[in-house]
Structure 1
Amino acid sequence: MGKVQHFEIPADDVDRARAFYADVFGWSIQGLEGYGDVALIEPAGDQGEAGVIGGDLYRRERPEPPTVVVTVENLERALDDVERAGGRRVGAIRPMPGMGRAAYFEDTEGNRLGLWENEAPGT
């Protein structure tokens, strides 16, 4: 009970968003027959891996939607992939000593999402 079940990403152009996320993260995104422009997202990775690892709770400083954060192996490469696929970087990479680094981007639909790179062991 209380486990995060799934996430939803709104899009003005579902096909464009599908191509963006497949290109950047390797996600499989299939249409859901009988539901119009709804598509099911299957993130890449071993089915035995935890799909959603956790989240953050923070004081809202301005109106903004909740943020989905995706773990990547290399933050700079992921941000380059985002830009190549038509998205854009938002702000600078933020180091979080002892944990990793974070960055944000906007997808082709104007949604803000986060990227997370775990700190390498022993650093």
Structure 2
Amino acid sequence: MTSHSPTPAWFDVSSPDAPRARRFYQEMFGWPVTVLDETYALVGTPDGPPAGGIGQSGPGSPYTGFVVYFRVDDVDAALSRAEKLGGARTLEPQTLPGMGRMAVFTDPDGNPIGLLSP
């Protein structure tokens, strides 16, 4: 649970063809994309922080498609709450340098949802 109402904090598009996905979203919405490597690119304006990313999915990927990440105070506690409510974890909590902790679960309908905490 958070002390505030969770709002979208990040998004990821995970695609079996990341270059195609980058081109599609760049052309569809005019998104500025900064390619980090062949597997991941950041989406956002050059003068501000990135808003999301577009990455390569593969056989071991926890999801394919569009995932919105919500900011919470504690990823582990929020993930535990999601499981108690009928969700299922698909990406174990992990620490990302400079971004905090993240995890992904599916809701009871199978929709992937991301969690981010400081």
What TM bracket, shorter-length normalisation? 0.5 to 0.7
1:49-98 Cα offsets, whole Å, 9 max, x none, are xx544222223436821111111000111011101111011132121122
Q: Distance between the aligned counterparts of 2:71 and 2:5, measured in 1?
A: 11
Given candidates 48, 58, 63, the residue that maps to 1:61 is: 58
Question: 1:115 aligns to what?
Answer: 115
Larger radius of gyration: 1
RMSD over equivalenced CA pairs, Å: 2.5
The structure with more strand, counted as a fraction of residues: 2
Query: Aligned ranges for residues 41-52 of structure 1 at < 5 Å?
Result: 44=5, 51-52=7-8
Return the offset for 1:101.
1.1
More RCO (CA 8 Å, sep 6+): 2
Q: Distance between the aligned counterparts of 1:90 and 1:116, measured in 2?
A: 14
What residue identity is the alignment partner of 1:94? Q
Contact 2:70-2:116 within 8 A present in 1 as well:
yes
Structure 2's unaligned 5+ residue stretches are: 10-50
- The share of aligned pairs that are identical, in percent, is 29
Count of residues paired in the alignment: 73
**So what's the TM-score if we normalise by structure 2?**
0.52
